[in-house]
Amino acid sequence: MTPRELEVFWPVGDRLHNQEIADALHVSERTVESHVSALLRKTAARTGLPRRTGRSWSRRRNG
């Protein structure tokens, strides 16, 4: 994981919304979405979970 992905990782784990994370890190919501996507890809690759599972979780989390 990159240092910035790690900065996004913990707030995601605390179930903060992407906009809340973006505000705290002074970046756009789209940037946070990109980091979350990268984290989900990397996590799915390590755990063997299908990528779709991560995207479904992300959608539930944000709306």
- Residue ranges of domains in the chain, CATH in brackets: 3-62 (1.10.10)
Pick the residue with more confidence: 56 or 24? 24
At residue 40, the pLDDT reads 86
At residue 22, the pLDDT reads 94
At residue 52, the pLDDT reads 45
Mean pLDDT in residue range 28-51:
80
Would you say the pTM of this structure is higher than 0.85?
Answer: no
Helix, strand, coil abundance in the chain, percent, nearest 5? 80, 0, 20
Pick the residue with more confidence: 55 or 38? 38
Query: Nearest 5°: CA angle at 9, between 40 and 30?
Result: 70
Mean pLDDT in residue range 36-52:
72
